Structure 1
Amino acid sequence: MIVIIRLLFLLPLLLATAAVAQQAPVPSASAQLAQAERDIRAADRALDGRVDDDARRSLRAQVVAAQQATIAAAAQLTAQLALVDARVAALGAKAPNEAPEIVQQRAQLSREHSAIDAAIRRGGLAKVEADQLVAELDRGEAEQFAQAVSTKVPSPLAPAFWRALLGAMPRDLRRIELFLMQGTTQIEEQRRGGLPWQAVLGAGLALVLLFPARVLLRRLGQRYLIEGAPGHRVRRSGFAVWRIATGTLSPLLAAAALVQGLRWAGLLPERWSDLLDALVGASAFAGFAAATTGALLMRTQPSWRMAPIDDATAARLRPLSWLLAALAFGAILINGFNTAVGASSAADVATQAVLALLHLMLIAAFLLALARIRGERAAEGAAGDLSTRAGLGLVELIAWIAVVVAVVSLLLGYIGLSYAIVQFVAWATLLGSATYILAGALDDVLTTVFRRDGRFGQMLTRGVGLRGSSVDQIGLLLSGVGRGVLLVVALGLLVSPFGAGGGLVTLFGRLGALAQGVQVGGVAVSPGTILRGLAVLFIGLALVRGFMGWLENKYLPVTDLDGSGRNSVSLVARYLGIALAVIWSLASLGVGVERIALLLSALSVGIGFGLQAITSNFVSGLILLAERPIKIGDLIRVGLDEGDVKRISVRSTEIELADHSTLIVPNSELITKSVLNKTLANPMGRIQVQFSVPITADAGTVRQILLDAYAAEEEVLADPAPVAFVDSIVDGRILFNSFAHVSGPRAVYPARSSVLMMLLTRLRDHGIEIGTVPQKLELIDARPAAPAEERPATT
């Protein structure tokens, strides 16, 4: 009692704390909105001047962050506005003579409502400004890319191209000389002060990371997967992903260690900073290219190969993948060098032409190698190989078309377009390989973890109560969703380097905007709300499952209902619980009951016309469950089929026939047509035995033998007692008809057989012939009758 009193005293304090907690997000959201507005205006002012590519990407990231902050703040303010509206609604309509406290509270709520509504409108305006800035930045980058690929310069085959290059060469050589001189001068000055141990340490660490550490990590990962990973598929895909990770991170960390060591030693000139940053990026991308293609081909470890590639194909393509990584490293580093030096436009164009030509040669060599492999496989009669699949043939055709277009563009002077095409082909190859490996690894892991005979699957089946098939389905669904997300991310990454507006910033910015929600019919649909709806549905179904277990195993067995009645109550409760769980889940998504009713009313027309049979069976099932003219366990006859009712659902009824087959009858057939229920009113069955004896037999003795046969059969009931009657006397025989009752219709046939067997034995012992009324056959001569004197004598 004391505890209850204390809780009653603490209740106002808890309510006040909850009110403060509800109002606390308003200042925070307002401050967040104000900061977002300042960031958007700062980005807008920065666009008034000239900005380069890096500054444009930075501004875009700033605007996207402000945009998402605005959306989040508006969502918080909208929620607070709903709370204020709820409090206003609780006060009711304004009365003429209200208490001063109510008037004051109504005014306070009105001020809060106005302030929050104004903040929400500011957030909407800031979001519109952010959308416009993002569109402007994306349009500017797309226009810049379009201008770069559409710019025409003198063809490399024309003298004008070489004249421009030779004319700019002296100045470019002087820039390179100055660039190198400044760097070497600073390095020599710093080296005079002593041994640059930081640079030596960085170089040593780079060598360790690049060679022994990378090999050791790869072997350790492989050993761990062999010993600890479940299943060959998980080990195989896990090793491929681990190989990509180590192959990418090792060159990246090695280059970063080298550059950082030079910086700490003071040996890095200011003008060399961008070049060495390009070295880090080139090392990382080249390592990614080599590791991804190596993980896909697995030339030296064919048993770990994920892709259906034979050993000969992997051996031929692996050197080309190393050339691709080296070319990517050289392209990034050369472009960074040109930018750091400040090379002329003619030198940039010549560099792009050389890189495009090298890429074209590599792509052509790759396609020719595939064509040669296909020819060899065709000559050997091999089929089903990766090199002979129709899908790969289509990809090769598209690649050849891209090569032809790139060559023509290069010869015509559209060097930027040619270089963009070959870059796109190379990037698509690497990205496709990485996506293939990651999607396969994700599928392998999820389908292995969510497996009915696995450790986690058995825990779900035993602890949660899921069926084995449900566990397998969860793994497949999660795998499908994950692979779909990977595909969307891969498509975004595929076009991001080619004028897609902000690269990765654009992609993740759009994903972040999507996470905030999309309005569909007045309902905000977002990944968060979908997950919340699924969680609520799962909880609701779990509650229904628990309630059904209590109802079927605890409550219904102690009632006076029979098995059929318990089944009816259980079915109605189950469907009602599932419906409530679905409505609860939709309500968590923001779909109110009025929308559900509107949807059902809109579907009613389609249900009436297109689903008449299903609706009829559903309503008939409800009638069967309510009126119970047919119950589980009844022996019924539908048409020519007779059997026991085993299950009644809202759509159909299952009847087990004598041959143990199952007859599924739509419920409408049981409601609208005649059905013989042998156990509806009375569960007893009746035996009828008919026979005849000669007229010379003692009728009383025969009747007593028949009644004794009934009495000797255990299945025959004493109440009502068996009866025997003389039915008629026909053609010199006495016809007997008798009746007896057994416990149920299913016992009629065996009990009747036993009575007949005993009756035959006892009548034979008494010398009484049993049979049926003899039939007399009379033959009539159709010929004319002869005179009496001509008729033959008969004896």
Structure 2
Amino acid sequence: MLIVALLANLALPALAQDTNQIVAVGKSLEAASRDLQAVDQAFDQPTEEAERRDLRDRASTVRQSVNDAVALLEPQLAAVDARLGQLGTPTPGVTEAPDIRAQRGLLAQQRSTIDSAIKRGRLIGVEAGQLVDEINQSQAQAFGERMSAAVASPLSPGFWTATLKAAPRDIRRVMRVTAAGVTQVRQALRDDHGWQAGAGLVVALLLLGPLRLMLRRLGRERLIAHAPASRVRRSGLALWLVLVGMLLPGFAAVALMQGLRWAGMLTPAWNLVAVCFVRATFVFGLVSALGGALLLRRQQSWRLLPIGDATADALRPWTWAAAGLGFVGVMLIGFNEAVGASYAARAVADGLLAILHCVLIAGILLTIGRLRARSAGGEEEAPPASHTGLALLSLACWLLTCVSLGALLLGYVNLSLFVSRMVVWVAVVAGSLYLLLVAADDILTSVFSSESRLGRAATGGLGLRGSAVDQLGVVLSALVRLLLVALGVSMMVSPFGSNVGNLFDQATMVAQGVTIGQITISPGAILRSLLVLAAGLFVVRGVQRWLTTRYLPTTELDDGARNSISMVARYTGVILAALWALASLGIGVERIALLLSALSVGIGFGLQAITQNFVSGLILLAERPVKIGDLVRIGDQEGDVKKISVRATEIQIADRSTLIVPNSELITKTIRNMTLANPIGRIQLLFSVQLDADTDRVRAILKDMFREAEHVLDDPEPKIFLDSIIDGRINFNCFAYVASPRDAYPTRSEMLFQLLRRMPAAGIDLGTAHQQIELLGLPDSVRGAKDTPGGLPG
């Protein structure tokens, strides 16, 4: 009891501190609840897209703050429970000390307060999440309404009548905003604030001119002098050019606009235009620098894209046009917002932008088509890639351009502009993603390389193998590139701040489908399943290609082990992709197992041989009694194993034809693997010399032959045996060893050539043992005549 009392007294300061923290958290929850109510009330009113984005951000902030508060309170609740556990439960009939009873009461009260705060925080978090989902749904609905909104067709008189009718009011608004801006500038000049705007202009010119050129030259010199002589120079230079080309003009615009603000020359309307000008300058810098970095005219050796100089020269002007169009588009939309242009004027501006985007897309596609036509005629030395995927992509762009123009002619101006800008936006994101993927792969594989400074330090200081450092670089490159791809896809589906992902989610719920039992099958579900299967197979193919071309070559595994890992990964991935596709269709794992059990009977009877070969293939890939590169003999056929699949094994025999052997043959029958476990080869020489020949001289010649032979091993050393003396000749039997059974036959042939040259040169007669032929079933006169000098009588 004394110990418990001491613990309770020691815990009092901690309880006081925790109480203050709980009070602070409670106040933060109260503030979060008020903010959430304010967002909810504001969302009840009609809101624009920008206001909805702001409300969604505020609700997300509330949800994050209450989640942080709950995460802060949960350890305190656990600590209070632990203290109550130390005090234990009151013993019936025993009167506790007053301080213990007070401590227990204080802890119980504190626990109740913390638990209530946690529950309240979780409730606020749920309400905030629901409000975020509701705002997202509202944004998706508003986006769909905006895309489906139609005006009069530009081909109809009504479209231009409304524009002309609203033109006088729009002109007055522009004049009023312009006059206010001029007045503001004059007032700033009278107040001697013009030097601030001049300073901003000077800084902007310095950023655009000398500093930009200096940074471009400095980056090139540093890459040439310090970067390793590999692809990292090209990708690093391209990345540096994009960063300099985007940030320096953007910062110049910031400096210029900030100087105007400090000088007091911007009215609220022109301040909005200034914000759009900064944004448009960053867009212009990104698109122009990205095009320049990827094309790099007159520098083919530094170019990332596999195209020639003529192609780069032809495409470069279109990148400037795309950058200029992006600048004009952002500025035009911002100017309309600043002056409060009428709906008719905005429709004309959007239609004009849509036409310009379509002209840009069509011009690029026509240029690529003309270049491909020249390459087909042999006029282009390095044509653009003619892959089938690029051809399909070009066709898709043409279709989208036609859709955009058709929507514009029908009066769906917003949809037309969205589709055309979507094509350009996806192209810009794809180009940026390509540059980032190449740069990430080159930089990471160069930094984490066994030949780099970091790799040598790791191998020397940590004792790591060089291949382990190379593998780390390849794996890190793959992970970073996956993150970049995910980021790029999210950027592609969410252009211009529109939550297109939610629109796609809503589109998948349109068709309810047909319910059979507990499974709902709908066109959307089938399409989703096919897309999932295609995506899964694409990922499996990419992973297998990455394993075979990037990761496995950095390991110390042989070709057979690499093939086994690649094949197992492939079929495992195919199975997982199929299960994923079935799950997306609404078929659970238990139903898949039931289906497989029902099919097992048919598989057992009708596909017995295929199943046997499949299982045998898995055994071969796992146990590896035969692997790729082995020299095997099956019956009277001998050859090299070239490929092992789950059904059959391909063996290339001596005449370069392919012997296809079912895997069950390799498992159930006897085969000879002449290269398993790295065996050595043996050659044998059989010959005879005359009885009066110098055998020591023969042995010396043989030793010289074996010692001078390129492939004959010293260990085990060659063996020379005098086998027998028969019929007046001495028979020799010699053995030598080579590194591989593949070297045995050619080495033996070379030894025989040497034997035929050296023995006669040394005056030694070569031959074979005397053979006696006895003819059976002939008359004695004929049989005796065979030993006469004349042979058989005629």
Shift of 1:365: 0.4
Match of 2:147 in 1: 149
Change (3 A) 1:116 1:321: same
Bigger Rg over Cα: 1
Q: Does 1:63 align with 2:59?
A: yes
**d(CA) in 2 for partners of 1:191, 1:38:** 46
Moved over 6 A (4+): 11-25, 381-384
Give the secondary structure class of the aligned counterpart of 1:211.
helix
Amino acid at match of 1:461: T
Give the secondary structure class of the aligned counterpart of 1:154.
coil
Amino acid at match of 1:415: V
Match of 1:75 in 2: 71
Give the secondary structure class of the aligned counterpart of 1:132.
helix
Amino acid at match of 1:62: R
Matched ranges for 1:678-757 at <5 A: none
Change (3 A) 1:464 1:100: farther
2:677 to 642, 662, 679: 662
Residues 490-527 of structure 1, C-alpha deviations (whole Å, 9 max, x = no match): 222223235644999xxxxxxxxxxxxxxxxxxxxxxx
Matched ranges for 1:554-633 at <5 A: none
Q: Does 1:96 align with 2:111?
A: no
Residues 452-481 of structure 1, C-alpha deviations (whole Å, 9 max, x = no match): 222212222333343322222221221111
Instruction: Check whether the contact 2:371–2:383 (CA below 8 A) recurs between aligned residues.
Output: no
Residues 407-443 of structure 1, C-alpha deviations (whole Å, 9 max, x = no match): 1101111111000001111111111111111121111
Q: Return 5+ residue gaps in structure 1 as ranges.
A: 1-10, 505-605, 607-611, 617-658, 665-752, 754-795
Instruction: Check whether the contact 1:493–1:503 (CA below 8 A) recurs between aligned residues.
Output: no
Change (3 A) 1:334 1:14: same
Give the secondary structure class of the aligned counterpart of 2:341.
coil
Amino acid at match of 2:180: Q
Instruction: Check whether the contact 2:440–2:480 (CA below 8 A) recurs between aligned residues.
Output: yes
Amino acid at match of 2:59: V
Match of 2:156 in 1: 158
Change (3 A) 1:12 1:339: same
1:227 to 220, 225, 231: 225
**d(CA) in 2 for partners of 1:467, 1:21:** 53
2:291 to 283, 290, 293: 293
**d(CA) in 1 for partners of 2:365, 2:137:** 35
Q: Does 1:307 align with 2:305?
A: yes
Shift of 1:241: 1.6
**d(CA) in 2 for partners of 1:12, 1:94:** 15
Match of 2:109 in 1: 111
**d(CA) in 2 for partners of 1:382, 1:287:** 30
Match of 2:481 in 1: 483
Change (3 A) 1:381 1:112: farther
Alignment TM-score, normalising by the size of structure 1: 0.59
Change (3 A) 1:384 1:262: closer
Shift of 1:177: 1.5
Q: Does 1:367 align with 2:352?
A: no
Instruction: Check whether the contact 1:23–1:80 (CA below 8 A) recurs between aligned residues.
Output: no
Amino acid at match of 1:124: R
Give the secondary structure class of the aligned counterpart of 2:495.
coil
Change (3 A) 1:194 1:30: closer
Alignment TM-score, normalising by the size of structure 2: 0.60
Change (3 A) 1:89 1:390: farther
**d(CA) in 2 for partners of 1:135, 1:459:** 51
Give the secondary structure class of the aligned counterpart of 1:466.
coil
Match of 1:199 in 2: 197
Change (3 A) 1:149 1:204: same
Shift of 1:367: 0.8
Change (3 A) 1:381 1:98: farther
Amino acid at match of 1:117: D
1:39 to 15, 35, 40: 35
Instruction: Check whether the contact 1:145–1:498 (CA below 8 A) recurs between aligned residues.
Output: no
Greater shift after overlay, 200-209 or 74-83? Answer: 74-83
Change (3 A) 1:494 1:660: closer
**d(CA) in 1 for partners of 2:230, 2:95:** 77
Shift of 1:223: 1.3
Amino acid at match of 2:76: Q
RMSD (Å), alpha carbons: 4.5
Amino acid at match of 1:331: G
Match of 2:185 in 1: 187
Q: Return 5+ residue gaps in structure 2 as ranges.
A: 1-6, 503-596, 598-614, 620-673, 680-720, 722-794
**d(CA) in 2 for partners of 1:20, 1:297:** 67
Greater shift after overlay, 388-397 or 85-94? Answer: 85-94
Give the secondary structure class of the aligned counterpart of 2:274.
helix
Residues 695-731 of structure 1, C-alpha deviations (whole Å, 9 max, x = no match): xxxxxxxxxxxxxxxxxxxxxxxxxxxxxxxxxxxxx
Higher RCO by CA contacts (8 Å cutoff, separation 6 or greater): 1
**d(CA) in 2 for partners of 1:37, 1:284:** 38
Give the secondary structure class of the aligned counterpart of 1:100.
coil
Instruction: Check whether the contact 2:36–2:62 (CA below 8 A) recurs between aligned residues.
Output: yes
Change (3 A) 1:446 1:98: farther
**d(CA) in 2 for partners of 1:19, 1:454:** 56
**d(CA) in 1 for partners of 2:83, 2:306:** 65
Match of 2:280 in 1: 282
**d(CA) in 2 for partners of 1:33, 1:472:** 50
Amino acid at match of 1:266: G
Shift of 1:23: 8.0
Amino acid at match of 1:662: A
Shift of 1:136: 2.1
Give the secondary structure class of the aligned counterpart of 2:198.
helix
Match of 1:380 in 2: 378
Greater shift after overlay, 183-192 or 113-122? Answer: 183-192
Amino acid at match of 1:278: C
**d(CA) in 2 for partners of 1:443, 1:21:** 51
1:318 to 308, 316, 322: 316
Amino acid at match of 1:120: I
Match of 2:534 in 1: none
Change (3 A) 1:41 1:463: farther
Match of 1:724 in 2: none
Give the secondary structure class of the aligned counterpart of 1:309.
coil
1:140 to 138, 141, 144: 138
Matched ranges for 1:314-713 at <5 A: 314-380=312-378, 386-497=384-495, 500-501=498-499, 662=677
Greater shift after overlay, 184-193 or 239-248? Answer: 184-193
Amino acid at match of 2:147: V
Greater shift after overlay, 46-55 or 371-380? Answer: 46-55
1:213 to 198, 211, 214: 211
Instruction: Check whether the contact 1:236–1:305 (CA below 8 A) recurs between aligned residues.
Output: yes
Residues 504-560 of structure 1, C-alpha deviations (whole Å, 9 max, x = no match): 9xxxxxxxxxxxxxxxxxxxxxxxxxxxxxxxxxxxxxxxxxxxxxxxxxxxxxxxx
Shift of 1:33: 3.5
Change (3 A) 1:27 1:242: farther
